[in-house]
Structure formats: C-alpha cells, structure tokens
Structure 1
Amino acid sequence: MRFKTQLFALVLSVLLPAFVAAMLAIWYVYEEEKMVQEAGLKEAARALSLLVDNELQSRQRILRTIANDPSLATGNIAKFYEFAKKNAASPETTIVLMAPDGRQLLNTRVPLGTPLPTERPASIEDLMRRDGGITPLVSDIFMAPVAKRFDFALQVPYMERGEIRYFVGMGVNVTAIQALLAQQKLPTRWLGAIVDRNGVLLARSRKPEEFVGRSSDERLQRLFASTSQGLTRSVTLDGVAVKTFFHRVASSDWTVVLSIPEEDIRSSAVRGAGIFAFAALLVLVVTLLLARRIGSGVIQRMQRLEEAAQALGRGDPVTYTAQGLVEVDAVGSRMAEVSNRLRLSQRELELRVAQAVADSERAQRALLQSQKMEALGRLTGGIAHEFNNLLQTLSTSLQLAKRTHDTERLHSLLDTCSKAIKRAKTLTGQLSSFGRTQDARLETVNLHRQIHEFRQLVDNVLPASIALEIEVEEELWPVTIDPTQFELAFLNLAINAKDAMPAGGAIRIRVSNEETPPPVEGLPPGDYVCISVADSGIGMTEEVMAKALDPFFTTKKVGEGTGLGLPQAFGFARQSGGTLVLSSQVGEGTRVDIYLPRAADAHADAASTPAQRAANGGPQVQGTVLFVEDDALVRESVAPALEAAGLTVILAENADAALARLEAGTKVDFVFSDVVMPGTLTGIDLARAVVSRFPQMKMVLATGYSEHRVSIPGVQVLAKPYDLADVLRLLTRAG
C-alpha cells in the first residue's frame, strides 16, 4: 500500500463517525421540514376557505340590500326589476324574485314578463326543508334553466308581519368563484379546488372548463361530509398522486381543497435538508483539504520524483529540482542525466531515418524516370526501325525506277513501293490504336458477322496442328468500333496464340454478352460484349506479363515480330471505351479478355470491307473542287489525281486562305479539306463555315489524327491515307 493511501485512511477513520452523525441529523431536518410544510399547507387551505366565505357573505349583504328596496313592499314588481338589475353585483349576476311556493316572478337575465321556470333548484329545496327558508341559503352547483350554465344561488327571505312574502335569490355563475381561485396564483403543479356539499366541483385551478360540474372521488365525498378539515392522500381526476389539504367554508358547507404532488412536498423538505447537508459537506471538504495539505507536505518529494520518472518514460525532458533529501535528490539527478542522453540519441536516429527516406524517394523517382525513358526509347526505336526499313525500300525502289527503261521492271519496282506503303499503312494503323479514336473509322457493327468473316483469314494463318474453336452467342449486342483495328487486333491475338504453341494445341474464342462483368480496374458498370481468346500454349512469366502490353516489347527473335500485337489489341479496347484483361500461367496457357461497351444505337450496319469499297469503283466526277491541304507533297500528288478523275482543282494551303477564296466569290462545287492545319482556322472550323454560309457546296474532311471529334451534319469524314476511289465516292455522296 502506498504511503499516501495510508495517510488518507487515517484521516477517514476520524471523519467517518462524524459523517454518519451528520447523515442522521440531515434525516431529522428532512422530517421536520416535511411537518412544517404540511402545517403551512393546512393553513393555506384554511385561509382560502375564509376568502370564499367572505365572498359569499359579501354577496349575501348585496342581496339583503336589494331585498329591502321599498318597491318590493309596495308590490311594484316592475320598479323592483329595474332596481335589482341595476344593483346586481356584476353583469353575470342574476337576481330572481320568487313566490313562497317557488314560482319565479321575475329574472333579471330575461326581460320582465318572459315565462319563467316554476321550480327552485333541488339543492335550495333541500336546504329549505331543514329550516323553512327563514335563514339565508347558499345552494350547491346546478345547471341554470334560463342561461344553461353552471351557477350557484344565494337566497334571503322577504318577511312581512312575520310571514314570508317573497324569496329574493341571486344566481351567480361559478366563474366568479373561479376568478377568486385564480387570484391566489397557486404554483403550476399545485391544484386548488372548491366542491359543494355533494362533492361536485364548483371551481378548479387547472382545466376548469373540463372538470367543473364533475363529482370528486366517493371516498373524498364521504371524508368532506364527515369532517370540516384535514389531510389525506388521493389521486386527482387527471390521475396525479397528491396530498390533499381541505377546509370547510362556514357559510355554505362547501369545501376548499388544496392538492400538492407528494414529490413537491418531498422536494421542499429535501431543500431544507439539503442546506444542512451542504453545510455538513462543506465542513467535511474543508477538513479533507486541511488533511490533504498536511499529507501533501509529507509526500510532496515522492510525487515530484514520480513525475520525473513518468516524464522519462514518455521521453519528455526531465527537469528535477533538489528537494532537500539526499537519497531522493540522487535518484532525480540520475533521471535527468539519462533523459538528456536518450533525447540526443533520439534526435540522431530521426536524422538518420529522414536521410534514409529521402534517399529512398530519390531512388524511386530515378527508377520511375528510367522506366519511362526505357518505354519511350523502345517505342521510338521500334518506330524508327520499322520506318527506316520502309524508307529504305521506297528509296531504293525509286532510285532503280529512275535508272531503268524496262516497263516490266518499272512495274515491279512500283509494286514493291505499293507493298511498302501498304506495310506502312498497317504500321500506322497499329500505332493509331495508342492515340484517340478517329470518327472517320468508327462504325456500329455486329461482331457475330465480323468474327465469322475473319475466321477464314485466321484459318489461313494457323497450321493444321492448332485447332480453332469459336463460340458466339446468337443475340450479340452491337458495338461501336473501328472495324480495321478490330480485324487487326483479332488477327494479332490469333498469331500470338499460334506462336505460343509451337507443338500445336487449341485456340478457344468465345464471344458473349456480359450484363455485369467481374470487377475490372478502370471499367465502369454497364453492358459489355466480352471477347475471350484462350490458348493452351507455354504461358508467360510474371516478368513478361508486366511488359507484355508495352509497345515494341517482344520475346521473339529479331525479324520475327514487332512487339505491337498485344499493345495494339489493348489500345483498340481502350479506344473503344472498354479494356483488355490479360491472365497467364507458365505451362497452362494464356487468356485475353476484351470488354467492349454495348453501343447506344440499336441498329448495327455491317462494315464495308476494302474489297467491297474497291468493287464500288471510282466514278468520274464533274465540277470544281477546292482542295485545302498544308502539306506540299500531298497537294502535288492528290491534285493531279483529282484532275485525272474529271475535276477542276483549286488549291489552298490552309483553311484561312480557303475561306478567303470562298468569301471572294470563287465558284466551287466541292470542298475537300484536311483537318489539322496551321493558321487561325482548322478544317473543322472551315466545314462549319461552309455548312452555315454556303449550304449548296458539298464538304468532305480528311484526317490522319485529330484531338477533336467531327460531328457536323452533312459533312463526310475520310481517314488518311485514303484511296482516290474513296474520295470520289464521298464527294458524290456529300451533302
């Protein structure tokens, strides 16, 4: 046990008996306060009964004054009516003159001569039977037959030669007694009430309109009839448990009732006892404070040593002041010394950690930059390698074409140039899958038809040792894609699968609708068409999978592949609004899932193939075309071709110059323009101006790559590089 606890127990052993004695005294004070409170409430009930008695006697005096009017002695009823009405105690007071047999002769509440009731209230009749009516009477509450309200009545006899000639009565609305009760301003939780001889409520301090006229509890009625004052426990008509103090009104035998919730009486006693308890508690607290102060002088040195130990445990600096005890001061000084050494070590460790974190971040940034540069270098190097081979082929073939006069040899060289151009077109198509989708290439298609058209092409690529299985749902949703890019991606996936199975195997292709695809990063919820290509090949290692989607990354030997197969398929999927998911395990094969979003258009047109476009031919077109192209080489090659097709060609180097020619009044039938050009206007801006200001002209745009979408009604879009036949076909369809 700590020394401080022992000192505290010693103090309690002295104070505990005193505390018990104080509790007994508090209980005594509590009981005394309750008795005083109840005595005061009894006196309040008595005082209220005196007020009611005074009120009734005051009205009796008024009634006697009215009864002594000389007009009554002379029998002048009309004059007495006016006098009584004028001298009534209040407008709500009614003066009634009755014959000895109970017939009403006049009632100030109604005009003189109005037919009146012939009977007295029952309570008046009962009282008159006791003494013959020769004394003033106060009735119980009754429903007034004329006013139809709760009233009570006072009655005095008019005597003439020792006999009763008339009875003069005063009908008073119970609100007069209610007003007297309201003037007392009882506390909100208290309930004051006045009941008649039968225990019926005449007035009530709370909700009088609801309870006046109702009978009180039968037990209370018997109690009020048997004794003139007292105290009892009861429950009010609205269900509140109370202590009830009652006192009878002398002049009327009514009873004044004062009901207080028992908890209010207790709370009043508690307040009195609480004052005493507070004083006792204050003495106890002062005593404890004095004891604590005395004890603190004993244990103060130990507490300061404890504080120094706690600071050392938290790692806070320890500052210790000598307390005058050699042993305690030695321990405190040692703690301060250890604290200083620990803080120095902590600062040194923090500096080393911060330096290590900074070095790690620099290394990470350097690694990321190196990886970016490696990917960029692989991409640009691959592009340069491929195009250098193509340029070399073109350059050599053109040089040989200049030196030969052999027509057959010249055609062979031109065929070689065409093949190089076709290969370059394929390569740029593969590269364009890494950029933005071009509107000129987008079509809403049915993959069911597309895949079955491409199957023959894939069958020609695959050897006999590889089986091709294709499963396509019948009701596939349409998708919006670039058909050429899709064909290329489909072929690339088949070739990659073939290369992964040198000893043969199987390629399984399944195309299905996916309403809720599995969670895929970057793929929002929606409807998708899933193209799944799985092979039974050698699979990929984790290192190869990490780079498999990088452009120009390949595990094949030089000359066997460009490394654009999977990256092109991935770029196609992302361009189309979907994504590509790659999964593979060494020895178990590879699976590629391409998710394409469902097209908003319900109708899908079959994409026309290059063969079909060639079959359409290149019709001769008559008219004048404004050819807008900023590249001089393109102008020099395309313009003669357009002229050879029968068109008159006007050249413009940019959209600004073209619009100036049109505004100057140059007559043209067609405008054929590039999209991206130097100057303040683009081909899209020119197209908008032509459509709005020269609607009779037909407009065609050609684009190799543009950041902007082309969506102008009546404007056809052609993808570069284009065939002359396609240009002529669109010129005839434009507008």
Structure 2
Amino acid sequence: MRIRTRLLLLILSILLPALVVASVAVWYVYQEQRKAEVAGVKEAVRALSLLADREVLAMEAVLRTLGAAGSLQRGDLRAFYDHARRVAPPEHSTIVIMDLEGRQLLNSRQPFGHPLPRGASNLMALRAARGAAGTVVSDLFMAPVGKRYDVAVQVPVAIGGKLRYYLAMGTAAERMVPLLVQQGLPAEWTATITDRDGRVIARSRDAAKYIGLTVRSALRARIRSGEREGVHQGVTLAGVPTMAFFSRAPTSDWTVILSVPLEEMRRPAIYAAAGFSIMVVLMAALSVAGARWYAQRTAVPIERLRQSAEALGRGEAVAAFASGMAEADAVSLALADASAEIRNNKADLERKVAEAVAAAERAQRALLQGQKLEALGRLTAGIAHDFNNILQTLSGALQLIPLTQDRARVQALAETCQRAIARATKLTGQMRAFGTVQDARLATVDPARAVRNTLAMLKSAVPGNVELAVDLPDALWPVTVDPLQMELALLNLVINARDAMPRGGKVSIVLRNTAHDDGAHGLPPGDYLCIAVTDTGTGMSPETLARALEPFFTTKAMDKGTGLGLPQAYGFATQSNGTLVLDSAPGAGTTVTIWLPRADGAAAVGDDMPPAAAPDMTAAAGLVLFVEDDPLVRETMLAALATAGFEVQAAASGEEALAVLESGAPVRQVFSDIVMPGTIGGVELARIVLNRYPDVRIVLATGYTDSRVNLPGVRLLAKPYDIAELFQALRQG
C-alpha cells in the first residue's frame, strides 16, 4: 500500500466516526418524522372512515322514517310507493321493500305493479349471517334496473310487533365521491372507499375510471381477512408506488384507504439528509484534498526509491539521490551500493554459467556422437555379417561353376546363387522397411484378406504347444501398405511371440477399427486400423523394452535371431504413416500394437500375390531407352533385353537420356532407375518425358528413394525386379 493511500486512510479514520454519528442522527430525525407523519395519516384515515359511516347512518335514518309511515303500517303499498318516491327521488335513490325471503315487493325505480327483478346485492346474505334485527350495509353491486354501481342499506320493518318486511335504500356509488373530494386532501394523495371484497366504491381521483375495480391483490387479501386498520406499501391502480393507510368503518364495514406517494412520505427526511450529506461530503473532500497534497510531498522520495528498486531488479545502474528526508536518503545510498555489487557479481556469474553451459554442450554432443556411432556400429556390423555370408555363398558357387563339367552340378550351384540372392533380397527388404517412401510396393488392401492370406504361414511358424487365435471382425477399414512388408511384419511379431513362450502359450491377433480424436501416440486425429499381437510369454524388462526397436538388438542367441523383427515391423508401421506401440512387463506378456491410417479409397479386388511366371522371351516393337548409372547393372540388363529381342539403347544418366531423346531417336519406351547422380534423376526425367514426349511410355525402377512418385501412367518396379516382370512391363505398352 502506498504512503499516500496510508495518509488518506489516516484522515478517513478520523472523519469516519464523525460521519457515522451524523448519519445516525439523520436517520433518527428521519424516523421520527416518518413516525409523526404516519400517526397523522392514520388519524386522517380514521376520520374518513367515520365520515363514510355518517353517510350510511343518514340513509338508515331515512329508512327508519319510511318504515314508520302509516301507509306501510296499513299495508297500503300503493300509497307507500308514492310517499317513497317523494322522500327519495328515483333519480338519486331507490327504495325497495322485500319480504322475509328476499323477494322484492316494491321498487321505487320501477312502475308500481311492474314485474320486479331479483335483488343483485348481498343484503340477504348479510342478513342471514347477522340475524333479523339491526341494520346491514351491502357491498358494491350492479343495479339491475339502473345499470350502475350502487350500494344499499337495509333495516327490518315490524308491524304490530311482528317482523313483516325488509326495507332497503340503494344509492349510486358515485354519490360517495363528493364526501372524499370535499376533505381537501393534498393533490398527490388519493382517498378510496372499498367494500368488504376490496372493490372500489368511491375514489377522490378519477372515480369514474376505477369504481367497480378491485384493489391490488396483496391489499385486497388484507381487507378480505378482516383487518381493522393498518399500513400497506404497494402500488395503486394508477401504478403509483404509495404508502396506503386503511381503516375499516365500524357501521358499514367498508374500508377507507388513504394512499400517500412514497416520495411524499420520504421528501422531508430526504431533504434534511441531503443537506447534511452535502455538508459532510464537502468536509470530506477538503480533508482528502489536503491529505493528497501532503501525501504527494511525502511520497515523492518513496516513489523515487521504488523506481530505484525496479531499476535494481532489471540489473540497471542505480544512482543515489538527496531528498532531504534522512531515511529515504540512507535507503537510496544503500540501493546504489547494492546495484554496483550486484552488477559485478552478475558479470562474474554469467561468465561462469557460460563456461559451464559450453562444457555441458560439449559433453552432450560427445554423448550423442558416441550413441550414434554405437548404433551405426551395430547396424553396419549386422549388415556386414549377413552380407558377408551371402557374398561367401555367391563367391563359392561362382568359383565352382567353371571347375564343374557336370551340368546338373552347375544347375545346383546356380540354384544356390538364387537362394543367396533371395536371402539378400529379404535382408534388403527388412532394411528398406526403415525408409519412408516405397511407392513401388504400396497398395490399398483389405486387412482381413491380407491376414487370411498369410494365416497358413503364421500357423506353420508356431509349434503345437502355442495356440494362435485370430479375431477378424466384419467391415474392417482398408489401408494403404506394402503387402509383403505387412505379411513380413506379422510373421516377425508371431515369431517373436513364439520365442517368448518356450513352454507354450497363446498368441492373439486382433484387428479393430478405431477413431482417434486426441492425437495419442503422436498420431494426428482420424480413423485408424489397429492390429494388436498379444502373447502370454515372459515379457520384457524396462531396459529391454527401451532398446527393443533398435536394429540388430536381440536377447536371443546368435543363431536364433537377427534383431530385425521388431525394427522391421516398426519401420513398416512408420513407412505406412502409422506407428507401433509396445506394452510389456516381466511375467505379464507383451502386446505389440500397429496403428495404420484408414485409406481414402477402397481395397483393390484380388490383392493376392500372383504365381511367378516363366519369362516371355517375345520382344516388343520399338526402341527401349535404358537409363542406369551402375555399369554392372547396365551391362547385365542390356544383355538380358537384347537376348529377349528388344531393341535397346543405354544411357548412364538423366542428362544423357535427355540428349538421346532430343536427338530424335525413335524411342518408344524409357526404362530408368530413379536414384541417379546429376541434376536429373529418374522422377524428374519422367516428368520431362510426360510433358515433351507424351507418346513415350515410362517404367521406373527403385531400390529405395526418399521422394514420393505420383505421376499418371508411370509404372514402378521394385529392385531387385524379376526379368519376367520387366519384360511384361515393357510389352504392356
């Protein structure tokens, strides 16, 4: 909290008690004025209720006089009719004689002898509740003859000491209005007379508009409950917020309401409170202004100290200042000394940190380089070991062929060379799985069909004490993969599971459609095919699990495994834009899960591998331009194409092939390797031929490339390719 704020709070702490006392005093005066005003209004409403009863008593007096008339005592209703019309002219009042059952016998507003209506008032109901004697006053009702709102007073008539009739006098409700208007109430006040049900009989303002309406529901409930008097805060029928004072007249049982607007009730106290509040606010404003002025002068050195402290935190130089305040000047000098010390220490620390970071980076680089060299050593050693065995087989067989005259023996040696080549092809296929682009072998397949095609091979790979269970649900999503690599990955996983269960167990292969929406395992959200291979074997320790995907890493004996099974499966998964996840623990078995993204198109029909065919030695018409940078491959394939009867011309690079095409040679087909030295590789050469020579067909061959091939009409062959496959590709043009 700033010192200026503290000084302001000090001033306010002095003023606050005085403000509280003054506020209590204003509140006391306000309440006393309110009490006095409420008491005065209550007296006024009681007086009004007595005035309403006075009108009722006047009507009762008239009825008592009429009841004693000789004509009525003799039973001469005709003479009484004329007498009643003179005493109470029908344009103002109505005289009604009813029998003891409430039937009208005479109505001064109707012609004598004319059929009389039934009574519309509640006089007889009140009479039944209060007894035969005494006077009853009706609630507001709509007169059936005059079609206006009336009120009535009824008295009993006895003849010869025996009750004979009930005599009632009705008058228009609006005749009660002058009683209220003549009281000279303030213009904003409203006086209202209501009956027992809360309906308006008379009103001092806009009477014609509101007679017959009921007051607001809350006030009406209090009237109907029989409260004799009280105060009610609410809203009038005109929508004005008021304080309503009501009192019930003792004779008529009507309720007189005096509504005073809330603003009128509050105005005197509000004026007094406002005046005092203005005075208090002015005093407080002057006090705060003085405190601010003094605080400003006092806080300037403190503010400069704060700025110096912030500069110190940012590492900037801090200079001492003189403010005239001894404490602030001492702190400023201490900050300046601390600034110089911190800057010196910071420079020394930065130098030491830089040296430590440089040393750590050198150590990290050395560690990474060692790890890379170790991994590269295992990889190259494994490849060298396997390829040395293959080369040894090829070398021995080729050296024996010239020394052997027996054709059968030569044929056997040639078959040995073919098996060595097949073994090398398998090894390069496993190594190629670590790449990312294999367009020559990609196909959209039905995973269920692919698994069924390799099921026989998988079953033959497990012994009798291992159960192989496969779960292939319907409607599995197609995937775009290298089918042979997929079969090899499944075979490698099943063999690894078999080797992990030397005493037998169960291997389960489960395929499921899975929708990914959380980006788990580093995969983007989308639809994936999930292939899970689970065994009940020994499982892997955390150390083994951490290295399980390294090429040539194996826990098996040297003659039992190459260490390429799991790495090949991982390479297959990543090459197919998916991933492989390992889940294993010692004694709990292992689950290997391959996630493959759902293909956009449908699976190709008949994706089974066709049986190998014998080479068709029939040549195709036209010149074949063979582009290959490797001289041994070029020499071998030129001889094979020439032997098959193809007209062939060779080129050692993309630039040389382009020169042949531009020379006008009648080239019908271009057969080119993809990876070649120079600026024009096989893919770029194919694009040029498609653009400039649309009639020339293109066949590309690749062992591995890091470029995606997506050219219409271009066929791809994977190295090493079969000669029959090459001849077929060239003849299809």
Q: CA deviation digits over 1:591-647, x for unaligned, max 9?
A: 1111222221124233342xx341375351232322111211111101111112121
1:381 equivalent in alignment to 2:385:
no
Distance 1:351 1:692, change over 3 A: closer
1:487 is displaced (CA, Å) by 1.5
Which whole-Å CA distance do the structure 1 matches of 2:23 and 2:476 have between them?
A: 90
Equivalent-residue separation in structure 1 for 2:19 and 2:487 (angstroms)? 99
Contact 2:467 2:506 in 1 (8 A): yes
Task: Decide whether the 8 Å contact of 2:8 with 2:292 is kept in 1.
Answer: no
Residue 426 (structure 2) pairs with residue 426 (structure 1): yes
- Cα deviation for residue 496 of structure 1 reads 1.0
Distance 1:532 1:730 in 2: 37
TM-score by length of 1: 0.56
- Counterparts of 1:30-179 in structure 2 under 5 Å? none
**8 A Cα contact 1:26 1:277, kept in partner:** no
The 1:318–1:592 alpha-carbon spacing in structure 2 relative to 1, beyond 3 Å, is same
288 and 364 in structure 1: CA distance in 2 versus 1, 3 angstrom threshold: same
Q: 1:281 to 1:363 in 2, by over 3 A?
A: same
Q: Which amino acid aligns with 2:587?
A: G
- Superposition deviation, residue 654 in structure 1: 2.0
Aligned residue for 1:614, secondary structure, equals coil
Deviations 1:438-491 (Å, cap 9, x if unpaired)? 211011112222222212222332222222222212332221111111121111
1:259-270 to 2 correspondences below 5 Å: none
Name the SS of the counterpart of 1:373 in structure 2.
helix
- The range that moved more, 285-294 or 535-544, is 285-294
* Superposed structure 1 runs of 4+ greater than 6 Å apart: 7-27, 218-222, 235-242, 261-275, 286-294, 316-321, 338-358
Alpha-carbon distance in structure 1 between the residues aligned to 2:686 and 2:268: 96
Q: For the residues of structure 1 that align with 2:21 and 2:539, how far apart are their CA atoms? A: 93
SS in 1 for 2:634: helix
Pick closer, same or farther for the CA change 1:499–1:280 going to 2, 3 Å. Answer: closer
Question: What does residue 591 of structure 1 align with?
Answer: 591
Q: Give the counterpart letter for 2:584 in structure 1.
A: S
The equivalent residue for 2:459 is 459
**Residue 26 of structure 2 contacts residue 273 of structure 2 at CA under 8 Å; is this kept in 1?**
no
**2:443, 2:628 → 1: CA distance?**
26
Larger deviation, residues 262-271 vs 493-502: 262-271
Could you tell me which residue of structure 2 aligns to residue 442 of structure 1? 442
Indicate the SS of the match to 1:669: strand
Residue aligned with 1:596, SS: strand
**Cα distance per residue 1:551-587 (max 9 Å; x no partner):** 1111122233221110000110111121111111111
CA distance in 2, matches of 1:276, 1:722: 106
Question: For residues 351 and 236 of structure 1, do their structure 2 counterparts lie closer, same or farther at Cα, with a shift above 3 Å needed?
Answer: farther
Distance (Å, rounded) in 2 between the aligned partners of 1:8 and 1:430: 82
CA drift at 1:500: 1.2
Matching of residues 614-633 of structure 1 within 5 Å: 614-615=612-613, 617-624=615-622, 625-633=624-632
Amino acid at match of 2:576: S
What is the CA-CA distance between 1:269 and the residue it aligns to? 9.5
Equivalent in the alignment of 1:495: 495
Query: Would the alpha carbon gap of residues 372 and 280 (structure 1) be closer, same or farther in structure 2, given more than 3 Å must change?
Result: same
Residues 413-440 of structure 1: CA deviation (Å, up to 9, x unaligned): 3222222211111111111111122211
Give the Å deviation of 1:355.
6.9
Matching residue's letter, 1:399: Q
Deviations 1:368-420 (A, max 9, x none): 34333322332233223322332233233333334444434433332222222
SS at match of 1:591: strand
Listed as ranges, the gaps of 5+ residues in structure 2 are 1-6, 31-202, 208-234, 243-262
Q: Provide the secondary structure at the position in 2 that maps to 1:618.
A: coil
Q: Which amino acid aligns with 1:601?
A: G
Q: 1:662 to 1:359 in 2, by over 3 A?
A: closer
- Tell me the amino acid that sits aligned with residue 662 of structure 1: L
Change in 2 beyond 3 A, CA 1:515/1:221: closer
Aligned to 1:672: 671
Verify the 8 A CA contact 2:439 2:709 in the aligned structure 1: yes
Deviations 1:481-532 (A, max 9, x none): 1111112111111111121122222211122322348863122222222221
CA distance in 1, matches of 2:670, 2:442: 22
Distance 1:26 1:581 in 2: 80
The 8 Å contact of residues 618 and 724 in structure 1, kept in 2 or not, is answered as no
Alignment correspondent of 2:720: 721
Asked whether the equivalents of residues 445 and 604 of structure 2 are also in contact (C-alpha less than 8 Å), the reply is yes
The answer for the alignment partner of 1:662 in structure 2 is 661
Report the equivalent of 1:477: 477
2:539–2:589: 8 Å Cα contact kept in structure 1?
Answer: yes
Contact 1:449 1:606 in 2 (8 A): no
CA contact (8 A) 2:620 2:731 kept: no
Summarize the alignment of residues 178-327 of structure 1 with structure 2, pairs less than 5 Å apart.
Answer: 277=280, 280-281=283-284, 284=287
Q: Which residue of 2 aligns with 1:701?
A: 700
d(CA) in 2 for partners of 1:619 and 1:265? 123
Structure 2 distance, partners of 1:269, 1:702, is 104
Using the TM superposition, give the Cα deviation of residue 19 of structure 1 relative to its aligned residue in structure 2, in angstroms: 7.7
Closer, same or farther in 2 for the Cα pair 1:472/1:13, shift >3 Å? closer
User: What is residue 70 of structure 2 aligned with on the other side?
Assistant: none
Query: What's the secondary structure of 1:453's corresponding residue?
Result: helix
Name 2:143's counterpart in structure 1.
Answer: none
- Cα pair 1:652 1:658 within 8 Å, conserved: yes
Q: Is the 8 A contact 1:22 1:280 kept in 2?
A: no
Tell me, in whole angstroms, the C-alpha distance in 2 between the residues paired with 1:420 and 1:685.
34
CA distance in 1, matches of 2:528, 2:502: 33
Cα pair 1:673 1:702 within 8 Å, conserved? yes
SS in 1 for 2:533: strand
- Matches of 2:670 and 2:16, distance apart in 1: 111
What is the deviation of 1:711? Answer: 2.5
Could you tell me which residue of structure 1 aligns to residue 393 of structure 2? 393
Mark the CA change 1:425 to 1:290 in structure 2 (over 3 Å): closer, same or farther. closer
CA distance in 2, matches of 1:630, 1:664: 20
Q: Secondary structure at the match of 1:534?
A: strand
Query: Aligned partners of 2:592, 2:511: CA distance in 1, in Å?
Result: 12
Is the 8 Å Cα contact of residues 613 and 726 (structure 1) preserved in structure 2?
no
CA contact (8 A) 1:11 1:291 kept: no
Distance 2:690 2:325 in 1: 102
Cα 1:662–1:264 change in 2 (3 A) is farther
Q: For residues 158-196 of structure 1, what are the alpha-carbon distances to aligned partners after superposition, in whole Å with 9 as ceiling and x for unaligned?
A: xxxxxxxxxxxxxxxxxxxxxxxxxxxxxxxxxxxxxxx
Q: Is the 8 A contact 1:626 1:671 kept in 2?
A: yes
Seen in structure 2, the aligned counterparts of structure 1 residues 287 and 590 have a Cα distance that, compared at 3 Å, is closer
Aligned to 1:579: 579
Give distance in 2, aligned partners of 1:694 and 1:12: 96
In structure 2, the partner of 1:647 is 646
Distance 1:241 1:441, change over 3 A: same
Whole-Å separation in 2 of the counterparts to 1:9 and 1:688: 84
* Distance in 2 between residues matched to 1:9 and 1:708, nearest whole Å: 76
Q: Is this contact kept in 1: 2:514–2:527, CA < 8 A?
A: yes
Contact 2:431–2:568 (8 Å) recurs in 1: yes
CA RMSD of aligned residues (A): 5.3
| Distance of 2:365 and 2:650 partners within structure 1 | 51
Asked whether the 8 Å contact 2:620–2:730 carries over to 1, the reply is no
Q: Does 1:559 align with 2:589?
A: no
Q: 1:679 to 1:24 in 2, by over 3 A?
A: closer
Match for 1:463: what amino acid?
P
Contact 2:702 2:718 (C-alpha < 8 Å) held by counterparts: yes
Letter paired with 1:726: E
